[in-house]
Structure 1
């Protein structure tokens, strides 16, 4: 087999790149022999080119932005790796426009993506600031790239549906492999098993967890409504928020901001916090996947979320939590929680069964599936 390298719009070996996803995939891929390395690309070195490109776009289209989708960007970025064009090479790319088509005939390229560019443009609103004609060009180049590759793997069925429906790609070469928890398994193995949280009480309220930087997009305001609804039902509730800047959060008696917790250097604290939650949550306005859900499930914490974007693919079944129809009312979710906690022994048994399934939610499990697909 030709050496296979992981490719993303950045340094695939750096923990800080793209929500840690390439780093943890690379570590699992190296340990299982699926990957032989990751490319260390530096898009920040192209900022000057980007400014000049934006200036030209402004004059030609009246819009600024989108350099990262241009052939000039992708070719200049990949050139940093100095890959031999005439040598057999396999690339697993996280970015559907990288490498730019056409690439050398000696290369095999496969994609492992969380979203198509059309979804990024439409669902995340990124296309609104770009010229319509330019967006069309980008999507056409993406379609051509998809046509050339043998395999396109998506993290969620949501993205797979877009590859097939929006780009007209043969369904037989489109697959779904959900990502794993971005957690260091070696460090987790050294931690003692935590006790489950106690029944909610005024002294120890129900804990709903929020994990992520983007409070608004990931459903933080809804959680405050949910906390109020639970309080009205006699269930003391707090929202434990990891990630957002506490100074930027609204004042609310139920909100307990924790700021940033480095899960790599402060693993014990991060794990203890998540395992103290009764439920993790993800009620995003737009979401390609939701790695935070997989981290909760890896630690035996059930998740409450709604069916937006790729979120449904993060919860394989009802044993993992509850998936609500898009944008539920706070009363509906509060009623479900109240029923699920009664009797509390039933909740504990449900949670104990979930904890036994921890291997399902690791990057090692995802790499096993990828290896079966990629060969």
Structure 2
């Protein structure tokens, strides 16, 4: 296995220099590969000979652009891939690493001595066929007629890859069940928190009997992230004469007003020191992150673990919450009363909450950070490069 820096070509439909899109995960991956032994070159996200069509897509309303662009990219994959291969030939690369956009690998095929690696939290087909995808329905109802063709294109891409890096068992199982791919090329390496490393968990607010239970909700979409249920849990605690507060970060839900027991921060930019300070105080002050959402991953749960904050979620998709390790993942269909019961048990015995905080922090230090991801991924890449030499 080589110890020299690997020459990595980084491919995505959006530049990893944008720290906001893909919830920041694209940028964090790029940075982690650089830190842990890669000479990383960002390939163009141009469609090369078909570039005028990509630019035309960006003229469309955002909802149509997001849904049509990747499908058209798949359709034109072989044409676009010629440009990708030309860029690879100019760089003498060891690895082609693609993040998120499986369509960017369409038509690229097998690369001989170059290792091809891909990571995402869901492919279009595994997502659409899952409980997560089915819970949201389809914006373009006619798109279902393309589903069999899209699945064939995904399978072709995945079969050509040397390494498939899944952040979750959920995606690994989805790939196996959907595409019958279940070999050592599929490796599970969790993603990390999309914040700079949190050195310690000092100055946290301990849970105490009789003191308010501090709930934290984080998400741009109030409904898809489980906001109404979080609000019902707040009411349920108060009904049981347990004082409780809810802090909402990321949205200003209609019909929900800030007051004595609810704080609302509609938008925080973590790249701005003042906003990041508010974010950090909220996570340190909270006793539970409550995001009962349908997700293929969920960076907020990693960020909660970074602060030793237990998470309450549904057991669905790839949500990185382990029962009694960094929180509780309740069965789908669990009611507000079920979540209230979990919280009440900790209020009655705060020492167990302190223990849960510690194991949540350990989960972050061991798995849910980008340095752990970077080290594990580079080990896999070095091994695959050595096998091809």
> TM-score normalised to the size of structure 2?
0.81
Unaligned runs of 5+ in 2: 383-389
CA pair 137-220 structure 1, distance change in 2 beyond 3 A: same
Counterpart among 203, 210, 213 of residue 206 in structure 1:
213
CA gap 1:53/1:291 in 2 versus in 1, 3 angstroms: closer
The residue number in structure 2 matching 1:13 is: 17
Task: Find 1:227's aligned residue among 211, 216, 234.
Answer: 234
| Structure 1 residue ranges, 4+ long, deviating more than 6 angstroms after superposition | 42-45, 51-54
Q: Does 1:260 align with 2:296?
A: no
Shift of 1:364: 0.3
* Residues 298-343 of structure 1: per-residue CA shift (max 9 Å, x gap): 11111111111111xx124522111111131111111111012222
**Residue 326 (1) aligns with residue 335 (2):** no
Pair 1:270-2:276 in alignment? no
The reply on whether 1:144 has 2:156 as its aligned counterpart is yes
Counterpart residue number, 1:110? 117
What SS does the corresponding residue of 2:375 show, helix, strand or coil? helix
Distance 2:207 2:176 in 1: 46
Q: RMSD of the TM alignment (CA)?
A: 3.1
Report the Cα distance in structure 1 between the residues aligned to 2:42 and 2:362, rounded to whole angstroms.
32
Using the alignment, how far apart are the partners of 2:111 and 2:44 within structure 1?
23
Q: Does residue 157 of the first structure (1) align with residue 169 of the second (2)?
A: yes
Alignment CA distance shift 1:78-1:195 (3 Å): farther
SS class of match (2:105): coil
Distance between the aligned counterparts of 2:173 and 2:298, measured in 1? 17
SS at 1:131 equivalent? helix
Q: How do residues 70-89 of structure 1 correspond to structure 2 at under 5 angstroms?
A: 70=72, 71=74, 76=80, 79=83, 83-85=87-89, 88-89=92-93
- Is 1:297 the equivalent of 2:299? no
Q: Compute the displacement of 1:223 (Å).
A: 0.8
Distance, in Å, in 1 between the alignment partners of 2:60 and 2:363 is: 49
Relative distance call for 1:193 and 1:38 in structure 2 (3 A) is: farther
Secondary structure class of the residue paired with 1:41: coil
1:1-375 to 2 correspondences below 5 Å: 3-34=7-38, 36-39=40-43, 41=45, 47-50=54-57, 65-70=67-72, 71=74, 76=80, 79=83, 83-85=87-89, 88-89=92-93, 90-94=95-99, 95-103=101-109, 105-106=111-112, 107-122=114-129, 123=133, 124-126=136-138, 128-185=140-197, 188-189=198-199, 193-199=202-208, 201=210, 205-244=212-251, 246=252, 248=254, 250-251=256-257, 254-266=261-273, 267-284=276-293, 286-311=294-319, 314-356=320-362, 358-360=364-366, 361-375=368-382
TM-score calculated relative to the size of structure 1? 0.84
Equivalenced residue count is: 358
Deviations for 1:55-104, whole angstroms, at most 9, x for unmatched residues? Answer: xxx9xxxxx95331233565559948961447643222122222212447
Residues 167-217 of structure 1: per-residue CA shift (max 9 Å, x gap): 1113332121111001112xx44x88323245265xx62111111211100
Q: What is the Cα deviation at residue 353 of structure 1?
A: 4.7
Separation (CA, whole Å) in 2 of partners of 1:21 and 1:256: 27
Identify if the C-alpha distance between structure 1 residues 27 and 65 changes in structure 2 by more than 3 Å, giving closer, same or farther: closer
Question: 2:209 & 2:270 partners in 1: Cα distance?
Answer: 26
- Unpaired stretches in structure 1, ≥5 consecutive residues: 59-63
The range that moved more, 12-21 or 79-88, is 79-88
Larger displacement relative to structure 2 (314-323 or 206-215): 314-323
In structure 2, the CA distance between the partners of 1:53 and 1:237, relative to structure 1 (3 Å rule), is: closer
Counterparts in 2 of 1:357 and 1:168: CA distance versus 1, 3 Å: closer
SS in structure 2 at match of 1:315? coil
Match of 2:387 in 1: none
Residues 45 and 292 from structure 1, CA distance in 2 versus in 1: closer, same or farther, beyond 3 angstroms?
A: farther
Tell me: CA distance 1:155–1:170, structure 2 relative to 1, closer, same or farther (3 Å). Answer: same
Residue 344 of structure 2 aligns to a residue whose secondary structure is helix
